[in-house]
Every structure is written in C-alpha cells, then in structure tokens.
Amino acid sequence: MPKNVLVLANETIGGKNLLDRIRARAAEGDVLFHVVVPQARPRHGNIIYDEVVRDSAQVRVDLALEFMRDEGIQGTGEVGDGDPFNASMDAFRQYKIDEIIVSTLPATSSGWLRRDLIERLEEATHVPVEHVVVDLAQEGLPFDVTLVVANLTVAAPELVERLKALAEEGPRRFIVVVPQSSVQGFAVREARGRLRKLLDSLDSAGIVAAGMVGDPDPYTAVMNAVQFFHISEIVISTLPEGSSQWVADKLVERVRDATNNVPVEHIEARAGAEV
C-alpha cells in the first residue's frame, strides 16, 4: 500500500524548495500525495466574494497537480478550510494520512508559524510532520507566472497570439483572471464561460494555464491576484482607447503604480467588449 502524504501549502505552493521536496519524496518509493490549499481571504475590496476566494485556492491546487503530472508523480488535490489546521485535519481523517509536509514562508513572514501550526499538527495526528520553508523573495519560482486579466476580450486573437509568444520564451505558467461583470448571480456564470474560452485556446496550444473569476472591479481583481500569487508579469487586455471603460478608468496605469517592479503589458483587442 502506498504511503499517503498530505502537502499543505498556500502562496508557497510553487516554491522551489517545496517542489524539490515533493520530487525527492516521490523518488523514495511508493507514495501518493494529496495537496490541500486553504482558502485565503483577499485584502482588497469592500466585499468578499466566495467565488473569488475559492477560485484562487483552486488555481494553486491545479498548478501543483500540473507540476506533479509533469514529473510523473501521483497526486490529488482540493481546496481546504480557511483555517490551515482544520484543513489539514479534514484531509487527515478523510484520506488516512501517513505523513504531512507543511510549506510556509520564513518565520518572520508566516502567520501559520505564529499560530504554532507544526506543533499542533504533530500533537493532533501523531504522524511525522515535515516543515519546508520557501522564501519567495530569495528563490522565486522555477518558472515565470504571467497574470492575464480580461473580460469579454478573452477570446480576442490579439491576446491569444501574444500569450502564445510569451509561452515560447521559456518555462511559464499563466493565471487568467476574468472579473465578474456585476454583482448579480448570473455574472459568475458569464465570467466562467469567458474564462473557459481562453483556457481552451491555451490548452489546445499546449500552454499550461489555470483561471479564476475575479472581483467585479478589475483593479481589485488584479490586486487580489498579486496577493494570492507570485506574479512575474501582468498582461491586461482591453478594447482600444475610446471604446474601453478600463482604459477610461486608467486601469493599466493604476496597476503599474501599485505593483512597482512587476512589468505590466497592455494588449488592445478589437473583438469583444468589457462590461
């Protein structure tokens, strides 16, 4: 029987130290990984949208499982409770976990360590709990991460072709954010439909991408994504000046000012429309 190993991580999910440890543990023998990413509340926006919170965690799960598949490593994954201890214990009980790997930021930055998560899990589970520190400021990620923000322009050929060109430049993952068009219930379904169009186009081109529905305010959607993920660059797709509300609201300039050293590219698309 394979050993069931729980991997608990949040923003460090793509960190080199963690990926190296997963790779090394898999090489040791019969093992099945189960990745759990707790839901994290965004810092930006006046309203917390459940879809946004869950989607951001699911994207982390998807990217971790994609890495494991590329390495030939068996694994499953899920979004967990917002409390990392509860998320771990839920998985521990459901999957009969034999070992736990917890990935955190360094002690000076980790809220999980301030809450004694490692010690609490050791006491509650009586299984080995390994702590892997990922310092994203020092090591970064083993690939670039491009944040793509678009609304109804997600299927525009100008955007798709640009993303294909970026994919050819080197190891890269794409995270697509489609802001909801309104606060109405149907807006989530519409956003998911647009998101699927772009993800399908990228998938057919062999490009690794995951996506999420964002806050109705595109600026808030971008800032929450920057909080949730270690972003290398941002691509914002809009209609041309004069036709785009995002351009009128100076979205690109505001994002550039707020994200400092993260490059922001503006793609003008002549198909579709933002709402």
Tell me the per-residue pLDDT of 204-228, one tens digit each, with 9 for 90 and over: 888 878 888 888 899 999 998 888 8
Task: Please say if the pLDDT value at position 242 is more than 90.
Answer: no
Distance in angstroms (rounded) separating the CA atoms of residues 98 and 77: 16
Range 143-268: architecture per CATH? 3-Layer(aba) Sandwich (3.40)
List, for residues 158-198, the tens digit of each pLDDT value.
998 999 999 999 888 899 999 987 666 677 788 888 888 88
Nearest to 56, CA basis, from 265, 274, 251, 230:
230
**What pLDDT score was predicted for residue 269?**
87
For β-strands 99-104 and 172-179, DSSP reports them as: unpaired
Same CATH fold assignment for domains 3-137 and 143-268: yes
Helix/strand/coil (H, E, C) string of the chain? CCEEEEEECCCCCCCHHHHHHHHHHHHCCCEEEEEEEECCCCCCCCCCCHHHHHHHHHHHHHHHHHHHHHCCCCEEEEEECCCHHHHHHHHHHHHCCCEEEEEECCCCCCHHHHCCHHHHHHHHHCCCEEEEECCHHHHCCCCEEEEEECCHHHHCHHHHHHHHHHHCCCCEEEEEEEECCCCCHHHHHHHHHHHHHHHHHHHHCCCCEEEEEECCCHHHHHHHHHHHCCCCEEEEEECCCCCCHHHHCCHHHHHHHHHCCCCEEEEECCCCCCC
d(CA 198, CA 181): 17
Task: Indicate whether 47 pLDDT > 60.
Answer: no
CA distance 88 to 129: 11
Cα–Cα distance for residue pair 13/37, rounded to 1 Å: 8
3-state SS, residue 263: coil
Element (H, E) at 265: strand 264-268
What gap in Å lies between CA 180 and CA 192, rounded to an integer?
A: 9
What is the rounded CA–CA span in Å between residue 31 and residue 4?
Answer: 6
Q: Tell me the per-residue pLDDT of 145-166, one tens digit each, with 9 for 90 and over.
A: 899 999 878 888 899 899 999 9
Helices (H) and strands (E) in the chain, counts: 11, 10
Which sequence spans correspond to the domains of the chain? 3-137, 143-268
CB 130 within 8 A of CB 99: yes
The CATH number given to 3-137 is 3.40.50.620
* pLDDT tens-digit series, residues 63-114: 888 888 888 898 999 999 989 999 999 999 999 999 999 999 999 888 899 9
User: pLDDT band at residue 43, thresholds of 50, 70 and 90?
Assistant: low
If one compares 31 and 227, the residue with the highest pLDDT of the two is 31
Give the DSSP H/E element, type plus range, for residue 181: none
* Rounded Cα–Cα distance for residues 166 and 145 (Å): 11
Tell me what pLDDT residue 114 has: 92
For residues 143 and 75, the model is more confident at 75
